[in-house]
A = this chain, B = another copy of it.
């Protein structure tokens, strides 16, 4: 029942392995983020804002792979606790550009270091060449899946 399968063989499926890797990575991130009182989405939001200041709620949602509704609840909490700021009025359109406060930036520093250590650990057994290959391969997978999206 495990050879000449019409379906998907879990032992050799790259899709399954991809999901497993992502799951283990997420768990490892949660582990180091929990002591800092931060969730993965929480961290993702702050990191996105540090690298691309002024992102709107919808853009943050896309970057963190959640819906804008979910990101909005998070942003409201972050704003309430003084980690980010949003203008009361939209400078253009309806999009509210969000920015980190000094407190948010400080909070991110420790988290970012922690996450970076996790990523280093993940890549520990790989050569530079393998890492570049992994990068290109993953990008190819993403592109292939996106292209055939509405086809």
Residues of A within 8 A of B (CB): 1-2, 5-10, 12-15, 17-29, 31, 47-48, 50-51, 53, 63, 65, 108-109, 112-113, 115-116, 118-119, 121-126, 130-131, 133-135, 137-146, 148-149
Q: Are B148 and A121 in contact (CB under 8 A)?
A: yes
The one of B121, B125, B137, B145 in contact with A118, judged by C-beta atoms closer than 8 angstroms, is B145
10 A-B interface contacts by CB (under 8 A): A6-B113, A8-B116, A14-B138, A17-B135, A17-B138, A31-B149, A122-B145, A123-B144, A125-B141, A125-B144
A135 surroundings in chain B (CB, below 8 A): 12, 14, 17
A13 surroundings in chain B (CB, below 8 A): 119
Q: Are A20 and B65 in contact (CB under 8 A)?
A: yes
